[in-house]
């Protein structure tokens, strides 16, 4: 089922685009930047840094799934002509 009206489609399209932008920012800026050892204080123990990286990788994978889901929603409900 596609969105029925042009106004509704615009609102949903804008919302999904905003969500995609935010997910992309978190994935590319915040999470990935923290994967670098240089982003942390020098006294951080190697084992602690490895544990942090493992958790960050989970967040990155989750964010990539969120992006995939949001893209699928756009394709299915927004980028499709309204059904009659």
Give residue 82's pLDDT.
58
How far apart CA 46 and CA 22 sit, in angstroms, is 30
Give residue 3's pLDDT.
54
Residues 6+ apart with CB under 8 A from 64: 27
Q: For residue 12, is it within any domain?
A: no
Q: For residue 10, is it within any domain?
A: no
Q: For residue 59, is it within any domain?
A: yes
pTM of the entire predicted model: 0.76
Give residue 81's pLDDT.
59
Q: Determine how many CB atoms are found less than 10 A away from the CB of residue 59.
A: 15
pLDDT in tens, the chain (84 residues): 455 567 887 888 899 999 999 999 888 888 999 999 999 999 999 999 999 999 999 999 999 999 999 999 989 888 775 565
Q: Which two tokens stand for residue 41?
A: 């204080």
Q: For residue 8, is it within any domain?
A: no
Q: For residue 1, is it within any domain?
A: no
Which contiguous run of DSSP H or E holds residue 7?
A: helix 6-25
Q: For residue 42, is it within any domain?
A: yes
In the chain, how many domains are there?
1
Instruction: Show the domain range for 65.
Output: 20-78
Q: For residue 15, is it within any domain?
A: no
């Amino acid at each position: 089922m596609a969105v029925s009206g042009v106004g509704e489609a615009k609102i949903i399209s804008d919302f999904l685009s905003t969500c995609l932008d935010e997910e992309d920012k978190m994935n590319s800026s915040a999470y990935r930047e923290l994967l670098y050892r240089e982003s942390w204080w020098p006294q951080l123990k190697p084992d602690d840094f490895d544990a942090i990286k493992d958790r960050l990788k989970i967040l990155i994978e989750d964010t990539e799934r969120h992006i995939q889901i949001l893209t699928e929603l756009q394709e299915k409900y927004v980028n499709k002509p309204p059904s009659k």
